[in-house]
Structure 1
Amino acid sequence: MDSEFLDEIPQYNYCCDDSLLIAMQKNKPQFISLGAATLILMSGGMHLSLSFAIPDPFLCVYWFKGSIIGALIGIICCQIVKKKKFILTSSLLIIIDGILLASLSEDNYGVILARFINGIASGLTFVPLLILASEESVCNKRGLLVTTVETMSISLGIFLYLFIYFVWTKLPHPPIHLIQMLGLLNIVQGVIALIVQWFFYVESPMFYLVREEENEAMDSLRRLQYPFVITSKTHQQLKEHKQYIAHNKELTCVSSLVSSLPALLVLCLYRSLVALNYSKPFYYVMFFCSTVLYGTEVWAFVIMGTLRCMGIFLNMYMIDTFGRRQPMLFGSIVCGSLSVVIGMMFDQFPEMIFRHRMSIIVYLMLMIQFFTGIFIGSSSVYLSEAFPLEIKPVFIGITFIVEMLVQVNYIVTFDFINSSCYFYSTAITCLGFFFIGLLLLPETKRNTLREAQIKFNLLS
């Protein structure tokens, strides 16, 4: 596939003729359809943050192990099972996880089992969610939809846990244990997800078109935009979906694998950076510095979660206007530069423990979380666009598993004495990715899935 063919692809007006507010109102059913999955990943974000607060690595890793197992199940079953069943199953698992946490908060094995179940639910949801978001969105709002339902939901979960942790440290006599509170929130999230998924979910039109059920696909498209009527734009979307499927049917499995391998390697590196910029070493260094400065006060963690969400919120509204590349490249080079500075400060350990140096490190780490929010949103969007239809679940799942393995590696191997090595490795990876992304990752804003896929295929 060459660039000349890309120029022949028709550009549809439905991708760019709406103002932001009108488009948001018109496409609201797409966000509601994916609302259950958003709640599931939010609960996963809470457990992700809890993993770093647990001192015992043995207890930390079970959420990540469950996530890997869930992703493997998603890879195997995603193309043959309706995605509604994935989300319903995950919602039930979240409820079970919450019940276990609420009732067995003092039992280590009960907490391990609950976290393992939550990890399975999160991994099980991740692969079908990104596929659904890419297939249900209109092309000029794909970045906003995917970033909201994946990146923002996990980061909101991180913020929610940090906020509850902050409140619990302020209460002289908390009414219940922090783990029990987490369990109750998981139960609420699971119940709401179950209701939303049962009543408001709309199956992907691609699911029906692959099975040559065109009437059902048209009905899905009708229900995914407001008002619920079939218009000329609905027919245009159906036509583009059919062309996307026809284009993918022409690809053999071998050609799909070969053409997508460069994109897979780059996006695995990208998701590794997502893990590096909020990992156990980062959490421990932040905890150490804030403890030296502020004692038992943990407000810095709340600011950290807030800034991360603010960065993602800014990215959500840049990603379909400025594009995917500019926020990604800008965020990566800033995070890499800040990590170099922190690494150099940790090299000077005796001087580092002075309060003014500690405060500088805390402020720099807070800045990293803001720019991480700007930086990471494009990874979700690229994952939803990059791969051919047949191997899409496999390659999305592989990138997610790589991200989880990076987290597990740092949980098991991290030593506070080597904190400078962590920040230097993060800096090298961020700055290296800046040049790789600059050279290899295409701009896909306002492109249809077929156009985006062709641009990624040109990497090979």
Structure 2
Amino acid sequence: MTFWADRPQTIAVIPDAFIFLTSGMNLALGLGYYYDPVSTHFLFSWFVGVIIGTLLSASLIQVLIKRYFVLLSSFLVVVAGILYTACPDDAIALLAARYINGIGTGLIIVPFIVHCSEISATPKRGFELGLEQLCTALGIFIQATYIALWNPENSFSPTRVHGIFCLGFGLGALGLAYLVIESPIFYIRHSNDAEALNSLTCLQLPTVLSDEKKLLLEEHKNYVLLNEYFDTGNSFLRGLAPLLRMTLYRAALAFSFSLPYNTQLYFATIMGLSGEGQWTSAVYTALRVLGVFTALSMVDMIGRKLIGLVGLLVMGGLGIGIAIIFAYISNWIHEDQMRLVCVLLMILQFFAGLYAPTTSVYLGEAFPLLMKPFFITFCICVECMVHIIVICTYTTDLHPMYVFNTFTYVFMFFCFLLFLFTIPETKFTTLNEAQERFRSWIQLKSW
């Protein structure tokens, strides 16, 4: 047996990984990790761009191959990187860069989830889909770390550093677009069995035609036939129940890394550690990366459901502690209480990292083929809308902090109880089997 026979499937999404690195950096930039003062419009503009990009990609994915999405998205990331680098002090140019990078992210995220779920071998599908959140977390870590440790005496603009990173990652994605291997299901839906078989041959080592790959082609054709047996209306109805659950499941991700929590960490560091730098941000985001790594190492063995539920439960529990401390303004100047907040928020990020990859995995498995891009788009748009609403309504004051913190942990516990009984375990299932499991409301098995 060839060592790591499925590695072409991982290599095929490397260009996407570079784009998601810039997505993580821009996500962090909009959620508190900036150096110079910025407007509220600047903070939420990237999320508006993501919504625009996902809406465009949902319709284009039916007719364009994946490589075109990679090329277009990476080109937009490069343009945004140039604007960040060349005009670090121009508010209009930076706002345009935020929108452009957001559109680039939106254009790639839906095709990535659809494409990756279709090209991945069943035993590795969780790992491959989870790479989106791994690269996003790494981008967050890069942005948060260099901003937190920035020397104020440095005359070089931190925004220009952001642009250089985006430019480099965008050029990397653009140059590696040739690595993309198209989905066999895309070709089957366009009645091109020869190209579908060629894709299957390239996706698994050794890259030679075999009876096993011919059998796999038949399985993919059956998957397409079973899904196309239902028209668009029936597919819509069959996907409504999974859509409701996955909208909440993905929306919870927006609360795990948010402007209020990042602001509270900054405040707690100043008050609890006597302003000894912002090294806590580097540890905070590094723990998120560690959590994602941990989840990816287990998601195809232990399963998606148990990992996601543990992440939600612990985040909800830690959220109670954070909410109670900030509910009393006397604690805001108490060093020990603020140090405790720093610790709680850091631990929360590790479990947020555990939870994050399962959202991408389930998005790739939950929906009927005909409606899949549109339902994924809806879930991503809701996630972005949550961020926009929080950014536009939150202020660092007693009442807004109390409302946000209380709502967050209540929402986490509600989602935990809901998903404990309604989210299926989908490890080692084909896409058809995963879809059928999502159609049922009651799902008690957690491993």
C-alpha displacement at 1:233, in angstroms?
2.8
- Once residues 392 and 139 of structure 1 are traced to their aligned partners in structure 2, the CA distance between those partners, rounded to angstroms, is 18
Q: Structure 1 236/411 Cα, relative in aligned 2: closer, same or farther at 3 Å? A: same
Match of 1:431 among 398, 413, 430: 413
- Once residues 293 and 385 of structure 1 are traced to their aligned partners in structure 2, the CA distance between those partners, rounded to angstroms, is 44
Q: Residue 126 of structure 2 aligns with which residue?
A: 143
Q: Residue 80 of structure 2 aligns with which residue?
A: 97
Q: Residue 448 of structure 1 aligns with which residue?
A: 430
The answer on 1:229 being equivalent to 2:212 is no
Match of 2:254 among 270, 275, 278: 275
Paired residue type of 1:144? F
- Once residues 162 and 368 of structure 2 are traced to their aligned partners in structure 1, the CA distance between those partners, rounded to angstroms, is 39
Match of 1:173 among 151, 154, 173: 154
Paired residue type of 2:286? T
- Once residues 258 and 16 of structure 2 are traced to their aligned partners in structure 1, the CA distance between those partners, rounded to angstroms, is 23
Q: Residue 263 of structure 1 aligns with which residue?
A: 242
Q: Secondary structure at the match of 1:106?
A: coil
C-alpha displacement at 1:56, in angstroms?
2.2
The answer on 1:153 being equivalent to 2:135 is yes
The answer on 1:288 being equivalent to 2:270 is no
Paired residue type of 1:439? F
The answer on 1:376 being equivalent to 2:356 is yes
Identity %: 31
Consecutive unaligned residues in structure 2, runs of 5 or more: 443-447
Q: Residue 4 of structure 1 aligns with which residue?
A: none
Q: Residue 126 of structure 1 aligns with which residue?
A: 109
CA RMSD of aligned residues (A): 1.5
1:48-80, Cα deviation, whole Å (9 max, x unpaired): 101123552121111111111001101121111
Q: Structure 1 296/412 Cα, relative in aligned 2: closer, same or farther at 3 Å? A: farther
The answer on 1:350 being equivalent to 2:343 is no
Q: Residue 199 of structure 2 aligns with which residue?
A: 220
Q: Secondary structure at the match of 2:31?
A: helix
Q: Report if aligned partners of 2:242, 2:366 keep a CA contact under 8 Å in 1.
A: yes
The answer on 1:46 being equivalent to 2:25 is yes
- Once residues 102 and 281 of structure 1 are traced to their aligned partners in structure 2, the CA distance between those partners, rounded to angstroms, is 28
Q: Report if aligned partners of 1:338, 1:368 keep a CA contact under 8 Å in 2.
A: yes
1:104-131, Cα deviation, whole Å (9 max, x unpaired): 0010111000111000000111100000
* TM-score of the aligned structures, taking structure 1 as reference length: 0.92
- Once residues 379 and 257 of structure 1 are traced to their aligned partners in structure 2, the CA distance between those partners, rounded to angstroms, is 21
Q: Residue 288 of structure 2 aligns with which residue?
A: 308
Paired residue type of 2:240? L
Paired residue type of 1:323? G
Paired residue type of 2:150? W
Q: Residue 75 of structure 1 aligns with which residue?
A: 58
Paired residue type of 1:273? A
Q: Residue 67 of structure 2 aligns with which residue?
A: 84
1:269-289, Cα deviation, whole Å (9 max, x unpaired): 111110011111111111111
Paired residue type of 2:412? C
Consecutive unaligned residues in structure 1, runs of 5 or more: 1-17
The answer on 1:390 being equivalent to 2:367 is no
Match of 1:190 among 170, 175, 191: 170
Match of 2:402 among 420, 424, 435: 420
- Once residues 254 and 321 of structure 1 are traced to their aligned partners in structure 2, the CA distance between those partners, rounded to angstroms, is 36
Q: Report if aligned partners of 1:147, 1:380 keep a CA contact under 8 Å in 2.
A: yes
- Once residues 396 and 144 of structure 2 are traced to their aligned partners in structure 1, the CA distance between those partners, rounded to angstroms, is 21
Paired residues for 1:201-220 under 5 Å: 201-220=180-199
Paired residue type of 2:108? T
C-alpha displacement at 1:296, in angstroms?
5.4
- Once residues 307 and 380 of structure 1 are traced to their aligned partners in structure 2, the CA distance between those partners, rounded to angstroms, is 19
1:287-315, Cα deviation, whole Å (9 max, x unpaired): 11112233151110000111001001000
Match of 2:307 among 327, 344, 349: 327
Tell which deviates more after alignment, 426-435 or 232-241: 232-241
Q: Structure 1 87/135 Cα, relative in aligned 2: closer, same or farther at 3 Å? A: same
Match of 1:457 among 421, 439, 446: 439
Q: Report if aligned partners of 1:342, 1:420 keep a CA contact under 8 Å in 2.
A: no
Tell which deviates more after alignment, 410-419 or 293-302: 293-302
Q: Residue 217 of structure 2 aligns with which residue?
A: 238
- Once residues 382 and 77 of structure 2 are traced to their aligned partners in structure 1, the CA distance between those partners, rounded to angstroms, is 23
Q: Report if aligned partners of 2:149, 2:279 keep a CA contact under 8 Å in 1.
A: no
1:86-107, Cα deviation, whole Å (9 max, x unpaired): 1100111111111111010010
Q: Report if aligned partners of 1:259, 1:459 keep a CA contact under 8 Å in 2.
A: no
Q: Secondary structure at the match of 1:168?
A: coil
- Once residues 278 and 145 of structure 1 are traced to their aligned partners in structure 2, the CA distance between those partners, rounded to angstroms, is 22
Q: Secondary structure at the match of 2:154?
A: coil
1:360-403, Cα deviation, whole Å (9 max, x unpaired): 01100001000011112111011001111111000000000000
* TM-score of the aligned structures, taking structure 2 as reference length: 0.95
Q: Report if aligned partners of 1:68, 1:401 keep a CA contact under 8 Å in 2.
A: yes
